[in-house]
């Protein structure tokens, strides 16, 4: 049973560019959440998708947007990249009605130069 799969694992982008990160949830999960983890910090909640809609959003600018597809996979898009967007981006999947059972992927390391 596959866990959460994120791609790519590493990415280097230039300031001002746009990036798309991808996440495939664990089989049976219908909800995807995205977190940004800066170096030496804890993960910060970006947003959550369920039924192809953004359900919750953290304190991130509109440059951060997302999408969920009918097969529950998700994308995170970041426009107009800043140096401060360099971080590990973690995807976590879960079943909407469950309190527990978050499964995290291994993340995408984004470096903005």
Partner 1 sequence: AQTVTQSQPEMSVQEAETVTLSCTYDTSESDYYLFWYKQPPSRQMILVIRQEAYKQQNATENRFSVNFQKAAKSFSLKISDSQLGDAAMYFCAYRNGGANSKLTFGKGITLSVRP
Residues making contact with partner 1 (CB under 8 A): 31, 33, 35, 40-45, 48, 50, 55-56, 58, 88, 90, 92, 96-100, 102, 104-107, 109
Nearer to partner 1, 79 or 98 (CB): 98
CB of 56 to partner 1, least distance (A): 6
CB of 84 to partner 1, least distance (A): 17
Output the six-digit token pair for 17. Answer: 């560019």
Nearer to partner 1, 51 or 80 (CB): 51
Nearer to partner 1, 45 or 73 (CB): 45
CB of 36 to partner 1, least distance (A): 11
Q: Which residues pair with 74 in a beta bridge?
A: 23, 68
CB of 96 to partner 1, least distance (A): 6
- The C-alpha atoms of residue 86 and residue 70 are separated, in whole angstroms, by 29
- The C-alpha atoms of residue 74 and residue 99 are separated, in whole angstroms, by 21
Nearer to partner 1, 13 or 104 (CB): 104
């Amino acid at each position: 049973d596959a866990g959460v799969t994120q791609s790519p694992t590493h990415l280097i982008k230039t300031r001002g560019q746009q990036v798309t990160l991808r996440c495939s949830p664990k089989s049976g999960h219908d909800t995807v959440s995205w977190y940004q983890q800066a170096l030496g910090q804890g993960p910060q909640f970006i947003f959550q998708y369920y039924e192809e809609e953004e359900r919750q959003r953290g304190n991130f600018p509109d440059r951060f947007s997302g999408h969920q597809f009918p097969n529950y996979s998700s994308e995170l898009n970041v426009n107009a990249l800043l140096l401060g967007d360099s971080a590990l981006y973690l995807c976590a999947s879960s079943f909407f009605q469950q309190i527990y059972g978050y499964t995290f992927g291994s993340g995408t390391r984004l470096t903005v130069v």
